[in-house]
Amino acid sequence: MKSIRKILPFLKKYRWQMIIATTAMMVLSITDLLVPRQVQTIIDQGIANSDNQVVIRSSLLMIGLTVISLILAFVNTTFAVTVSESFAADLRNKAFSQIQK
């Protein structure tokens, strides 16, 4: 626990990037869970009732959800990698300066 408290100050300056990455991951999870629901709608309402409008509407919604998921995955990955690499660089620089002292 003590070591975690020592590294928390290094993470403070990346607070917003971590919030954005976490939020993107949560919304990504939600959109990924909505896709099977659309498949259910296509089968239960569209195919079972021979309603092509439901099939087309649900398919377009699935494509939209997939595009949103793709964008959110990109945002999450970009911010998470940026934070982790910057955090690691900060720790390396601090360790190097401590060694130099």
pLDDT for the residue numbered 54: 92
pLDDT at 8 over 90: no
Per the CB < 8 A criterion, the answer to whether 58 and 38 are in contact is: yes
Name the band, by pLDDT with cuts 50, 70 and 90, for residue 4.
confident
Task: Report which of residues 15 and 9 the model is more confident about.
Answer: 15
- What is the per-residue pLDDT across 39-97, written as a single tens digit (0 to 9) for each? 999 999 999 998 899 999 999 999 999 999 999 999 999 999 999 999 999 989 989 99
pLDDT at 1 exceeding the cut of 80: no
| Amino acid making up residue 71 | I
Maximum Cα–Cα distance for the chain, whole Å?
Answer: 76
Residue type (1 letter), 95 = A
pLDDT at 101 over 90: no
pLDDT band at 26 (very low <50, low <70, confident <90, very high): very high
Query: What span, in angstroms and rounded, lies between the C-alpha atoms of 34 and 32?
Result: 5
